[in-house]
A and B are shown apart, each in its own frame.
Chain A
Amino acid sequence: MDERWQEIERIYHAARELDASARAAFLAKACAGDPALREQVESLLAQADQHESFLKSPAIEVAAESLAKEKQLSDTPGPALEIGAMIAHYRLTEKIGEGGMGEVYRARDTRLQRDVALKILPQGMAQDVQRMARFEREAVVLASLNHPNIAAIHGLEESNGIHALVMELVEGETLAERISVAPSFSSANAGLKTGSTTREPKGLPYNDVFPIARQIAEALEYAHERGVIHRDLKPANVKITPEGTVKVLDFGLAKVLGGTGVSPVQSQDAHATDQDSPTLTTLDTQPGMILGTAAYMSPEQARGQRVDRRADIWAFGCVLFEMLSGRKAFDGETISDVLAAVLTKEPDWSVLPETTPAGIQKLIRRCLVKDPKQRQRDIGDARIIIDETLSGSPLPTSPLPLGEGGDADRDRVGISPVRRALPWGLSGLLAVALVTVLALWKFAAPTSQPFPVSFYIPPPPDTTLRQFGFSAGPVAVSPDGRQLAFSASDESGVTRLYLRPLASDTSQAVAGTEDAAQLFWSPDGGSLGFFANQRLKTVNLANGNVQTLADTSCMGGGGAWSPNGTILFLPRCQGPLNKIPSLGGNPIPLTTLGSGGDGYWSPAFLPDGRHFLYVLSSSSSTPTSIWMASLGSSEHKLVLKDAGSPYFTSGRLLFLQDGRVFAQSFDPSTGVLSGEATAIADAQAFSVSTGKVLAFQGGTMKGRLEWFDRIGNPLGSVGPVAEYQSAKISPDGTHILADVVDPTSNSWDLWSYPTAGGPGTRLTFGPGHKTFSVWSPNGKYIAYSCQSGGKAGICRKPADGSGGEETLFAFGAGVSRVNVVDWSTDGRYISFNEFVTGDPGVGTWILPLSGGRKPFQVAAVSAAQYDGGFSPDGRWLAYFSYEAGRPEVYVVPFPGPGGKFQISQNGGWLARWDKKGHLYFLTMGNRLMEADLTASGASLQVKALHPLYQLNLPSYPDPLFDVNADGSRFLVITSANPSASRSIGVLLDWESKLKGKE
C-alpha cells in the first residue's frame, strides 16, 4: 500500500466525519498544495454520498435475479398455456397454482369426463432426456400408490413438447389454510389477559386434529410400506375435502422433480443427496415457499444427508405440533434461522395446549428427535397412539384373561369407550392388534354399544401367506379367539405353520411343521392339526411334539377335530371322508354320505361333537353345497346350496358365498337355517372362534393387469380395475386379452386392452360365458372357452372383435367346463383343460385344428393336470400336475410320445414360456421362477432354476400371469386391494354387525 493511498484514505475518512459544509475548508487545508490529491478525495466523497446503496445487496442476490430473468424464458412452458388450451385430451380450465415444481391447472379429461389437476413440468426439465427418463420411472411407482388419503397420480402426458403430470383433483382447503384460519380462542396457557383482542396463534379445534393426523399417518404408512417417502410433507401439501377426507399431495415428487434445471453434466457430479432434500432444490424459490419447506425439513435433510422414512416422521411431528398449537415447531425469519432451529433448537413445548394428552405430547417429542436413529421409527406406531387418544385413554398392553372381569368392572369409571365396547378379553388385544390396523372403524363417539373392529395383520417379515387356493387353507382362529394359526412361506420357499397371539406383535414359526397347510385347531386349543408332505399330522403346542396320523393325497380337503378326539379328513380327494382318533389309529371311511358328488370337503364339527357339516363339491356344477351329517349314523341332509366353508358358532352358521362371509341363524339339532343371511366381511376364506373373532383372507375379487420387470418393479397397469380370470399378451405385445365379469349380467366376456393405454375393446357379447382366451400366433384371431346353455365349447373369432363366432369344438354333456390354455406357434393346435362331470381330475388336452379335430392327450393322467403351454419351437408341452401329491411342473415332448421331465423341485404351478424358450412358473410360495432348459433329441435338462421375485397374487381361484416375448416383462393379475390379499384380516366382535338385522 503506497503512501499516497494512505494519505487519501486518511483525509477521506476525516472528511466523511464532517458535515458537508465543513468539508471544503478541511480539504483545502489538508490537501494544501496538492490539487490532484484533493480532486481524488473529493471524487471519492462525492461517489460515497451519491450512492449509499452501492454494493449493499450481496452479489448472489442480484445475480440470481438477473439469471432468473433469463431462466424464465427457458423454464416457463414454451408455448404460452392459455385457459381452454388442450394438452393431449385434457382441456385447461383454470390455473390453480404455481408451485416450485411447475404450474398447476385444473383441467377436464375429455375422454373420461372428469376434472383432474395437471402439473406442467418445467421446460428445462422436460428437455432433459435423462431426467425425464428418471422421472417417468419414478412416476410409475408414484402412480401405483392407491390409497384414499393420497392424491392419486393418473399418468404423464406429453403434447407439443409440454409434459404434464395428471393428478387427482382434490377440492377443499389445505391444512395450511385450515390452520391459518383456525378460530382464535382465548388461550389457556399463553398468559393472555381475559378479553384481550390479541390474535394468538391457536391450533385447530381439538376434535379435528386427530382424525386429520390419523389420515395423514395412514397415507404415510401405506406409502412407506411400498418404499415411497414423501420427503416434503407439510400443511400446504395436505388437503382436506369438504367431506373431511384428508388427501396428501405431491407424494414423492420432491425426489423426482428435485434439482430442476441441473444439466445432465452437472447432475453427474452432484451429490446424490440433491434428490433427497426438497429445500432449495425443488423449491420454488419464492421466499415463502422455501421457508414453508424448511420448517418441516428433518435435520438430516437440512444437512443434505440421505433420508429415509424417518424424515417423513419428523415432518409428521412438525405438522401435528402445528395443528395443536397453531405455531410452527421450528420457525425463523430467514431460511438460515429456520434451518438453524431445525438443527439446534427444541420446539417451544409450552405452546402446546395444556389439554394435549400426555401420549400425544410424547409422540410429538419422539417424532422430533434430531437423531433419526433415536426417532419414532414407524408411522404405524404413531397411529396407534392417536387411536389410543381417540379412544380416551391408553389401552393396556397385556390382555385381560378371558372371562375375567364382570359388569362391575364394565362400568368402572375411566375405562375407555373402546374397552367398554369390546367383548371381554379383547379390550387388551386391541392395543396390540392396532399395531397393524388398517382400520375400518370410525372415530366413534363414546358409546356403550359394541361395535365391530377390523384390521389386517401382515405376514411375518420376509414371508408370504400361503395362498389358500392351493391347499394351504385359511388362517385358523384358536377356539378361545386369542391366537391365529396360519401357514406362510419364507424367502427360500419353505412353508411353516406360524402362531400369532393377537396380544403380541410378532408371529412364531412352529418347529416340525414344514409344508403345513389346511390347519385346524383341537377344541381345547392345545394342538393343531395340519396337512404336510402328504400326511395328516398334529402338533402339540405345549410340548412341540409332532405326530403323523395318516397318509393322504388330498392336501386341500381340510380337517376337523371333535371334542371327543375324533379327526375327520380326506385320504383321497375323490374318496369318502375318514375319521381317525386324534391320538392315532386306523382311519375309517364314512361311506354313508351318499354319492351325489365327488368330494366331501371342509368338515366342521357341531358342538355335540357328533354332528358335522361338510361341503359337497361336484365338478358337474361349479357351486358347492353345505351338508350336515352325523358320526355313527347314515343321516345326511342338505343345509344350503351355492355356499362353502361352513362354521358353526354362537347359534349361527357362517359360510362363504360369492366372495363374502355370511352369517345366518342355524339350529344345529335340526340343521335348519332361519332368518336372513347377513354379510359380515369380504373374504375368500375365513375362520371363526367362539370368542367372536373372525379371521379372513382375501377381500375383493377385483384386480389389476399390472406389468412387472424381472426384479419385481411395477411398470404400470393396463385396463381398469375389474374382476379378471386370465390375461394374455398379444404376440406383438401391443394388446392384452382378458376376461372380465360383467357386474350386471354376472357373465364373463373378453376384452382387449392396448398396452400403450387407452380404452379397451369388448370382443364378445354373450350369451353365456367367454373366458380363458388365447391369441393365434399371428395375433389375428382369438380362441376361447365358450360356455352356454350348460354346454362347453372352444370358439374362435377375429381379434378385433369383428365377425361372428366360430365354434371350433363343441363338447358333450359330460364336460362341464373347459379352459383354453395355449395356441401352438405353428397355429395347428390349441391346448385346453377339461373338467369332466363326475371326475374330479382335470386333464390337459390338445385340439388339432386340422383333420377331424379330435382332441387327444399327450401325458398320461394319473392325477389332475392343468395348463399345457407349447414351447416356441412347438416341440414341448409344459403343464403341472398333482401326481406327486402336490403340484409340480412337467414338460413332455409334443406331440409325443416320450419321457416326462419334472421342472419344479418343491412344488410348482402355472407354467408359461417366453418366445426364447425359457419356462416360468410359480413356487408354492408364489415366487416366480425361471427355468433354463436345454433339449437334446427327445431329452430335456434343467440347466438352472433362477428365482425371480415374489408375486403378490390376489385371492383368485386361478391367479395368472403371462410373460412377454423376450421374458423381460410379466403381466400379472394383482389385487386391487393388496393389503387385503397379502394380509390376514381380523374382525373383532363380528356379531355386532348383525344387530338390528335379525
Chain B
Amino acid sequence: MERGPSAHEVTILLRAWGGGNKQALDRLAPLVYRELHQIARRLMSGQRTNHTLQATALINEAYMRLVDAREASWQDRAHFFALCASAMRQILIDHARARASAKRGGNQVVIELDEALAVAPSRAANLLELDDALKRLAEIDPRKSQVVELRFFGGLNLEETAEALKVSTKTVQRDWDLARAWLFGELSGKKQHG
C-alpha cells in the first residue's frame, strides 16, 4: 500500500509549513485529508455509538499514523492538528452534504448539533448552516473563522490553537468568545427569519 511521504518526511513538511512554506501544505493536506477521512468514516460508521467520540483521539490516531512521534515537536503537533481541523471540517461537511442529497425529496438532514450548538430544541441548526456561517465569518474576520475551525472541528485547546495561529492564548480566547456569539446569532437568526 502506497503510504505517501514517510513519517519523517511528514514531520519535515509540518515544520516547513509551520515556518511559512505554503507548498508544504499542498503536499500535506491531501495526505491528512485522506487519513482522517478513513479514520472518520470508520469511526462514524462504527456501530452502536452511544457516547461521544473524541476528536483528539481521532486526530491523535492520524498523527501517529503519519508522523514520527519521536522526532516531532510540540509545535509540529499543533500544526498538524490545525491541518487536521481543516480537513475534518471538510470531511464532516462532505458527509452531511452527501447525506442530505441522498435523502428523497432533498430534505436537509440532519446531523443535529443541538447539543453542541446549544440552541433551543425548536431551533435545530445543522452542520451545513454552520459551515455557511463560518464562511461568512471568514469574509469578515478570517482569523476568527480559523479559531472556530481549530477548536470546533479540530478539537484543539486554547494553547494548541494559539500555537497553530501564532497568536497569544489571550487573543484566541477573545476570538473564540466573539466568534461563538456571532455564529450563534447567525444560526439562530437564520432559523428565526429563514
In the complex, chain B residues whose CB is within 8 Å of the CB of A286: 50-51
On whether the beta carbons of A68 and B50 are closer than 8 Å, the reply is yes
**Minimum Cβ distance to chain A for residue B132 (Å):** 15
In the complex, chain B residues whose CB is within 8 Å of the CB of A47: 180-182, 184-185, 188
Residue of A57, A71, A302 touching B52 (CB-CB under 8 A): A57
Q: Please give me the residue from chain A that is nearest to B46 by CB atom.
A: A285
In the complex, chain B residues whose CB is within 8 Å of the CB of A60: 40, 43, 53-55, 58, 88, 92, 153, 155
Q: How far is the CA of A448 from the CA of B64 in the complex (A)?
A: 55
On whether the beta carbons of B64 and A54 are closer than 8 Å, the reply is no
Q: A61-B116, A261-B42, A336-B56 are in contact. List 17 more A-B contacts (CB 8 A).
A: A48-B177, A48-B181, A51-B117, A60-B92, A62-B112, A62-B113, A63-B44, A65-B52, A71-B48, A76-B48, A260-B47, A261-B45, A262-B42, A286-B51, A304-B61, A335-B60, A343-B69
**Minimum Cβ distance to chain B for residue A36 (Å):** 14
Q: How far is the CA of A882 from the CA of B179 in the complex (A)?
A: 92
Most chain B CB inside 10 Å of its own CB: which residue of A62, A71, A76, A280? A62
A–B pairs, 15, beta carbons within 8 Å? A44-B178, A47-B180, A54-B184, A55-B152, A56-B116, A58-B155, A59-B116, A63-B95, A63-B96, A66-B111, A68-B49, A71-B46, A280-B42, A285-B48, A285-B49
On whether the beta carbons of B51 and A54 are closer than 8 Å, the reply is no
Confirm or deny: A443 has a beta carbon within 8 angstroms of a beta carbon on chain B.
no
A44 and B185 contact, Cβ closer than 8 Å, known pairs A261-B46, A290-B57, A335-B60: yes
Give B129-155 interface residues, CB cut-off 8 Å to A. Answer: 140-142, 148, 151-155
Q: How far is the CA of A618 from the CA of B47 in the complex (A)?
A: 68
**Minimum Cβ distance to chain A for residue B154 (Å):** 7
In the complex, chain B residues whose CB is within 8 Å of the CB of A942: none
On whether the beta carbons of A334 and B152 are closer than 8 Å, the reply is no
A64 and B43 contact, Cβ closer than 8 Å, known pairs A57-B116, A284-B48: yes
In the complex, chain B residues whose CB is within 8 Å of the CB of A66: 110-113
Q: Please give me the residue from chain A that is nearest to B142 by CB atom.
A: A1
Categorize the interface residue count of chain B. Answer: 35 or more
Q: Please give me the residue from chain A that is nearest to B53 by CB atom.
A: A64
**Minimum Cβ distance to chain A for residue B137 (Å):** 10
Main secondary structure of the interface of B (DSSP, over half): helix
Confirm or deny: A13 has a beta carbon within 8 angstroms of a beta carbon on chain B.
yes
Residue of B57, B70, B141, B154 touching A1 (CB-CB under 8 A): B141
In the complex, chain B residues whose CB is within 8 Å of the CB of A335: 54, 57, 60
On whether the beta carbons of A59 and B69 are closer than 8 Å, the reply is no
**Minimum Cβ distance to chain A for residue B9 (Å):** 15
- Contact string, B85-115, partner A, CB cutoff 8 A, digits 1/0? 0001100100110000000000000111101
On whether the beta carbons of A58 and B185 are closer than 8 Å, the reply is no
In the complex, chain B residues whose CB is within 8 Å of the CB of A64: 43-44, 46, 49, 52-53
Confirm or deny: B127 has a beta carbon within 8 angstroms of a beta carbon on chain A.
yes
Confirm or deny: A9 has a beta carbon within 8 angstroms of a beta carbon on chain B.
yes
A285 and B51 contact, Cβ closer than 8 Å, known pairs A47-B181, A272-B1: yes
A59 and B55 contact, Cβ closer than 8 Å, known pairs A2-B140, A44-B185: yes
On whether the beta carbons of B46 and A260 are closer than 8 Å, the reply is yes
Confirm or deny: B38 has a beta carbon within 8 angstroms of a beta carbon on chain A.
yes
Confirm or deny: B167 has a beta carbon within 8 angstroms of a beta carbon on chain A.
no
Q: How far is the CA of A284 from the CA of B182 in the complex (A)?
A: 38
On whether the beta carbons of A75 and B48 are closer than 8 Å, the reply is yes
Confirm or deny: B22 has a beta carbon within 8 angstroms of a beta carbon on chain A.
no
Per CB-CB distance, the 10 closest pairs between chain A and chain B, nearest first, are A68-B49, A261-B45, A58-B155, A48-B181, A75-B47, A61-B52, A58-B55, A336-B60, A60-B55, A64-B53
On whether the beta carbons of B49 and A71 are closer than 8 Å, the reply is yes
**Minimum Cβ distance to chain A for residue B160 (Å):** 12
A285 and B41 contact, Cβ closer than 8 Å, known pairs A44-B185, A60-B88: no
Q: How far is the CA of A44 from the CA of B65 in the complex (A)?
A: 41
Q: Please give me the residue from chain A that is nearest to B117 by CB atom.
A: A54
Most chain B CB inside 10 Å of its own CB: which residue of A100, A261, A334? A261
Q: Please give me the residue from chain B that is nearest to A281 by CB atom.
A: B42
In the complex, chain B residues whose CB is within 8 Å of the CB of A18: none
In the complex, chain B residues whose CB is within 8 Å of the CB of A287: 51
- Contact string, A69-84, partner B, CB cutoff 8 A, digits 1/0? 0011001100000000
Main secondary structure of the interface of A (DSSP, over half): helix
Residue of A5, A53, A58, A304 touching B118 (CB-CB under 8 A): A53
A55 and B44 contact, Cβ closer than 8 Å, known pairs A44-B182, A48-B177, A343-B64: no
Q: How far is the CA of A321 from the CA of B50 in the complex (A)?
A: 32
On whether the beta carbons of B53 and A61 are closer than 8 Å, the reply is yes
Q: Please give me the residue from chain B that is nearest to A259 by CB atom.
A: B42
Q: How far is the CA of A75 from the CA of B47 in the complex (A)?
A: 6
Confirm or deny: A114 has a beta carbon within 8 angstroms of a beta carbon on chain B.
no
Residue numbers of A with Cβ under 8 A of B are 1-2, 5, 9, 12-13, 16, 43-45, 47-48, 50-68, 71-72, 75-76, 98, 100, 122, 124, 259-262, 266, 269-274, 280-281, 283-287, 290, 302-304, 334-336, 339-340, 343-344
- Contact string, B167-194, partner A, CB cutoff 8 A, digits 1/0? 0000000100110111111001000000
Confirm or deny: B39 has a beta carbon within 8 angstroms of a beta carbon on chain A.
yes
On whether the beta carbons of A63 and B92 are closer than 8 Å, the reply is yes
Q: How far is the CA of A51 from the CA of B116 in the complex (A)?
A: 10
In the complex, chain A residues whose CB is within 8 Å of the CB of B182: 44, 47
In the complex, chain B residues whose CB is within 8 Å of the CB of A5: 140-141
Most chain B CB inside 10 Å of its own CB: which residue of A2, A64, A269, A334? A64
Q: How far is the CA of A63 from the CA of B1 in the complex (A)?
A: 30
On whether the beta carbons of A280 and B55 are closer than 8 Å, the reply is no
Q: How far is the CA of A261 from the CA of B44 in the complex (A)?
A: 9
On whether the beta carbons of A55 and B151 are closer than 8 Å, the reply is yes
On whether the beta carbons of B92 and A260 are closer than 8 Å, the reply is no
On whether the beta carbons of A72 and B48 are closer than 8 Å, the reply is yes
Most chain A CB inside 10 Å of its own CB: which residue of B47, B64, B118, B127? B47
In the complex, chain A residues whose CB is within 8 Å of the CB of B115: 57, 62, 65
Q: How far is the CA of A1 from the CA of B139 in the complex (A)?
A: 8
On whether the beta carbons of B47 and A261 are closer than 8 Å, the reply is yes
Q: How far is the CA of A66 from the CA of B50 in the complex (A)?
A: 9
Q: How far is the CA of A751 from the CA of B113 in the complex (A)?
A: 65
**Minimum Cβ distance to chain A for residue B140 (Å):** 5
Q: Please give me the residue from chain B that is nearest to A123 by CB atom.
A: B47
Q: Please give me the residue from chain B that is nearest to A5 by CB atom.
A: B140
**Minimum Cβ distance to chain B for residue A565 (Å):** 66
On whether the beta carbons of A304 and B116 are closer than 8 Å, the reply is no
**Minimum Cβ distance to chain A for residue B134 (Å):** 10
**Minimum Cβ distance to chain A for residue B55 (Å):** 4
In the complex, chain B residues whose CB is within 8 Å of the CB of A12: 178, 181
On whether the beta carbons of B178 and A58 are closer than 8 Å, the reply is no
Q: How far is the CA of A273 from the CA of B61 in the complex (A)?
A: 13
Q: How far is the CA of A9 from the CA of B141 in the complex (A)?
A: 10
In the complex, chain A residues whose CB is within 8 Å of the CB of B183: 54-55
On whether the beta carbons of A304 and B64 are closer than 8 Å, the reply is yes
Residue of A2, A43, A44, A68 touching B48 (CB-CB under 8 A): A68
Q: How far is the CA of A910 from the CA of B70 in the complex (A)?
A: 59
Residue of A98, A266, A273 touching B41 (CB-CB under 8 A): A266
In the complex, chain B residues whose CB is within 8 Å of the CB of A45: 181
On whether the beta carbons of B64 and A303 are closer than 8 Å, the reply is yes
**Minimum Cβ distance to chain B for residue A711 (Å):** 24
A283 and B46 contact, Cβ closer than 8 Å, known pairs A62-B116, A63-B127, A335-B57: yes
A274 and B49 contact, Cβ closer than 8 Å, known pairs A55-B180, A56-B116, A290-B57: no
Q: Please give me the residue from chain A that is nearest to B34 by CB atom.
A: A269
Q: How far is the CA of A66 from the CA of B38 in the complex (A)?
A: 19
**Minimum Cβ distance to chain B for residue A743 (Å):** 47
In the complex, chain A residues whose CB is within 8 Å of the CB of B181: 12, 44-45, 47-48
On whether the beta carbons of A9 and B127 are closer than 8 Å, the reply is no
A59 and B153 contact, Cβ closer than 8 Å, known pairs A51-B118, A53-B118, A260-B46: yes
Q: How far is the CA of A170 from the CA of B45 in the complex (A)?
A: 31
In the complex, chain B residues whose CB is within 8 Å of the CB of A51: 117-119, 180, 184
Q: How far is the CA of A270 from the CA of B154 in the complex (A)?
A: 22
Q: How far is the CA of A75 from the CA of B38 in the complex (A)?
A: 19
On whether the beta carbons of A284 and B42 are closer than 8 Å, the reply is no
